[in-house]
Chain A
Amino acid sequence: QVQLVQSGAEVKKPGASVKVSCKASGYTFTNYFVHWVRQAPGHGLEWMGIINPSGGGTDYAQKFRGRITLTRDTSTSTVYMEVGSVRSEDTAIYYCTRDYLPGGSPGGFDPWGQGTLVTVSS
């Protein structure tokens, strides 16, 4: 079955960087765009960015441009999200999710990864 499995929880000090992985299985990795969404404690969902696993092209929400980097490794069907210079406000659950339709057309998300808690604390 189609599955996205994320790496485990992270604890980081302010100013450090954090890299979260999302391993895809059950489908052709390069056919579906992958997105990252975060949810701060007690808050709603916030879209962060998108990556095309085929060519590696990315786009980011204005708020995150210059702070996050999305990359992929086609040999392992894995997408990575790196947040640089984290601060306390970056404490959140980070989700990867996939377009439910192939080819990058505007669309919704299914399935979702299980989420990765990133805690930023001194």
Chain B
Amino acid sequence: DIQMTQSPSSLSASVGDRVTITCRASQGIRNDLGWYQQKPGKAPKRLIYAAVTLQSGVPSRFSGSGSGTEFTLTISSLQPEDFATYYCLQHNTYPPTFGPGTTVDIK
């Protein structure tokens, strides 16, 4: 299986901060990567697919970059509703695998 790692595992930030989360794959996955946001008790919500494409309806403060083995999710100006856990997902190779998650909480 392709192993996905994320850093940091958690971070504390303030409203208005720029936040960057990194996801690394154990082998190259081209751009077959998505980013998901999950709030407590809710299903994950897709933010980004194909590494850089913003899901329709997702605010433009979210952006994705990267290809191959290293990817980033950036929130340009953190808003109160962005406090959540973020997961990356690779779907290049079966089985699809998720990163362990990054929890963003309020400083």
A binds B: no
**Residues of B near any A CB (own CB < 8 A):** none
